[in-house]
Structure 1
Amino acid sequence: MVLMIASASIGGTLQYGYNLAIMNAPTTFIQSFINETFLERWDVQLEEYQVTLVWTIIVSIFSLGGFAGALIAGPMTIRFGRKKCLLLNNIFLMTAALLALTSRTARSFEMIMISRVLVGINAGISMNVQPMYFGESAPKHLRGAISLSSAVFTAFGVVLGQVVGLREILGSEPCWQYLLASNAIPGLIQLLTLPWFPESPRYLLIDRGDKEACINALRRLRGCEVQSSELDEILQEQAETKGMRASHPWELFTDRSVRWQLISVMIISSAMQLCGNDSIYFYASYVFKEAGISDDKIQYATIGTGTCEFTALCLLHFAFFKN
């Protein structure tokens, strides 16, 4: 189970945090690239605010891709299953890495924009599918703690991206395109390891109606014979959902039985996104520069922000397991 969590997370929610962080280090280099591209194509020297505008679009369009990924995650999990969905999700990632890697040679900042949309789609899918995969595969008494590991790997991805983005590694002017394409490595690790692990037992029984495959998946995940109580729980869920179709997102707003759950999720999720946490990672260079930190120290201060979040989530995760 631990190996499955690591495999799914490395190519899953870790990518979300990683792709948040790696855009900060090459800020000045990509801005120079944008200016040079405009000068070569149209003999136009952009003003500072214009370069900042293009850069802001490149950074923030990641969120638009995430929105699209979140919308298609549900249909993908029903059609392909949880594990296969995570594997197919790497198509977006590998395409994005290829575009980012070749953008400098092609002299095209638009390729970086498209790359950011694609990694956003990848993040949107993984942020929805991975907790679902964990929750459906974990033992009941560990379900909450294992689902929380998605957030831990996100924070770890942020720290990893900040470390890889150091000038001593890939955060230098000659290497920024390799930094943007380095997210292909975790994706490749997932492609090589995740196929060895079973599909979600609940998906196998409830969506596909394959009881034998469900039992085999449970046996592999638990490392022992399947307890009848756990199988009975899934069978009961199958009976309750028999004949029901998957709801569309807009139908949730008219379903009174889930109204308060939906309101709670919306408020909490909005608070997480509007608290400014992601903005710090996206625009850390600007924030710390305005705070008076010298340019050569900003990259180390940025790592400190990611480390604080990662440490806090690790402590919270430990508390979940302890309880």
Structure 2
Amino acid sequence: MAGGSFTTGTVSKERAEQYKGRVTAYVIISCIVAATGGALFGYDIGISGGVTSMDDFLIEFFPSVYRQKKHAHENNYCKYDNQGLAAFTSSLYIAGLVASLMASPVTRKYGRRVSIIGGGISFLIGSALNASAVNLIMLILGRVMLGVGIGFGNQAIPLYLSEMAPTHLRGGLNMMFQVATTFGIFTANMINFGTQKIKPWGWRLSLGLAAVPALLMTVGGIFLPDTPNSLIERGLAEKGRKLLEKIRGTKEVDAEFQDMVDASELAKSIKHPFRNILERRYRPELVMAIFMPTFQILTGINSILFYAPVLFQSMGFGGDASLISSALTGGVLASSTFISIATVDRLGRRVLLVSGGLQMITCQVRKTFSCKLLSMFKIIKYP
């Protein structure tokens, strides 16, 4: 068994040097359309925090929060503490978690394209429900549908991008999903800044405009091909080869096609893959796969991006200032992503991982030191 694995790996490396092809317009367009799904995720992250800080939205659905907000000059503590508001924000992520588990077998059995289209349709329905909501139930139901769309999109789109991209540009093109996510966050912040001035239905426009990237993803998904890998997995090897020739712009795809066939056969030969991954020999990879994204989330960056306008308002910023500050945060995030794209295939993933970790450590230490220093001068309270 070990000898077989070694032989397969060796052949794969030798074949990789024989890969032919170029970055065709077909690949670029497919990746751009697919990465629009990242814009959906980013738009919802950016839009929700701004909407929950709008007075008209709070008056409509959460009047108690609005009253607490108006007394912020008396007590600025937990003015957004409300179970209904928490359900509005968290329902998307709970639905997304469940949907991502459902999306995995669907994506494997029916292809990446089906999951992308399904995610886009679900997001369209969620956008319509939120924009036209007249009660909290309708609002939360819309959030659930958005979560389903995000779950399917986040599961299928990164896989689609990595399988369509040429091997030497896979890192950069695969990061288009992250670029779209950061661009969606920044766009949402700018839209919130404009729609908050539209009384009393600006929040409906903010939520409803999520239908634009959802429509692009859905329509684009209808015209997109599936990936060669997916076609081969589903027993359509000849069709997969023709598609590979098309997206690489050459007939000389024997080496890459054979690697795909070998990988598919190897995957099918593995019994109980989820049980195997718990074996001792795979434990380092499993631990890293779980804890790396977990630790990134535990830094609090997702909470900051999601609740940015609310957080800035709680700190004493005005309505315009809080939304502008949120837009600046999104702008920095988007610009740093472009730096990563330009360097990921040149420097490697490990360099970016280590440098990003060092930056986060530095910021956390500086933040803690600054808060303690301010508390010494009784400017803020710090535990």
Do the two structures share a fold, i.e. TM-score over 0.5? yes
Find the aligned partners of 1:78 and 1:69 in 2 and give their Cα distance.
14
The Cα offsets for residues 66-117 of structure 1, whole Å up to 9 and x where unpaired, read as 21122112111022201121011123112211211221xxx31221111112
Equivalent of residue 224 in structure 2, options 182, 197, 203:
197
| Map 1:62-77 → 2, pairs under 5 A | 62-77=92-107
Q: Map of 1:48-63 to 2, 5 A cutoff?
A: 52-63=82-93
CA displacement at 1:310 relative to structure 2: 0.7
Distance of aligned partners of 1:293 and 1:60 in 2 relative to their CA distance in 1, 3 Å threshold: same
1:35 to partner: Cα distance: 3.8
**Structure 2 residue identity aligned to 1:16:** F
Which residue of 92, 98, 112 maps to 2:139?
A: 112
The residue that corresponds to 1:229 in the other structure is 255
Which of 223, 236, 241 lines up with 1:210 in the alignment?
236
1:13 to 11, 20, 38: 38
Q: Distance in 1 between matches of 2:270 and 2:297?
A: 33
* CA deviations over 1:196-237 (Å, ceiling 9, x no partner): 3321111111x2111211112112211222421111111221
Corresponding residue number in structure 2 for 1:34:
61
Q: List alignment gaps of at least 5 residues for structure 2.
A: 1-26, 70-78, 348-383
How far the C-alpha of 1:46 sits from its partner, in A, is 7.8
Structure 1 vs Structure 2 CA RMSD: 2.4
In the alignment, structure 1 segments of 5+ residues that lack a partner are 39-44
Contact 2:127–2:209 (8 Å) recurs in 1: yes
Find out whether 1:178 has 2:208 as its counterpart.
Answer: no
Flag the 1:201–1:130 CA change in 2: closer, same or farther, 3 A.
same
Query: Does residue 294 of structure 2 align to residue 270 of structure 1?
Result: yes
Contact 1:166 1:172 in 2 (8 A): no
In the alignment, what sits opposite 1:310? 334
Counterpart residue number, 1:283: 307
* Identity over aligned pairs, percent: 21
Looking at structure 2, the residues matched to 280 and 188 of structure 1 have their Cα atoms a distance apart, in angstroms, of: 28
Aligned to 1:151: 178
Deviation at 1:316, TM superposition (A): 0.6
Offset at residue 149 of structure 1 (A): 1.9
Q: Does structure 2 retain, via aligned residues, the 8 Å contact 1:152–1:314?
A: yes
Q: 1:144 to 1:159 in 2, by over 3 A?
A: same
Task: Tell me what 2:356 maps to.
Answer: none
Aligned residues: 309
Distance in structure 1 (CA, Å) of the matches to 2:272 and 2:154? 19
Q: Given the alignment of the two structures, is residue 98 of structure 1 paired with residue 98 of structure 2, yes or no?
A: no
Residue deviations 1:141-189, cap 9 Å, x none? Answer: 2222222222121111111111222235887532211211211111111
Alignment partner of 2:111 out of 57, 81, 86: 81
Contact 1:58 1:112 in 2 (8 A): yes
User: Residues 236-247 of structure 1 correspond to what in structure 2 (within 5 A)?
Assistant: 236-244=262-270, 247=273
| Residues 1:25 and 2:55 aligned together | no
Deviation of the 1:292 alpha carbon: 3.3
Q: Is the 1:135–1:146 Cα contact (8 Å) retained in structure 2?
A: yes
Task: Return closer, same or farther for 1:245/1:309 CA change in 2, 3 Å cut-off.
Answer: same
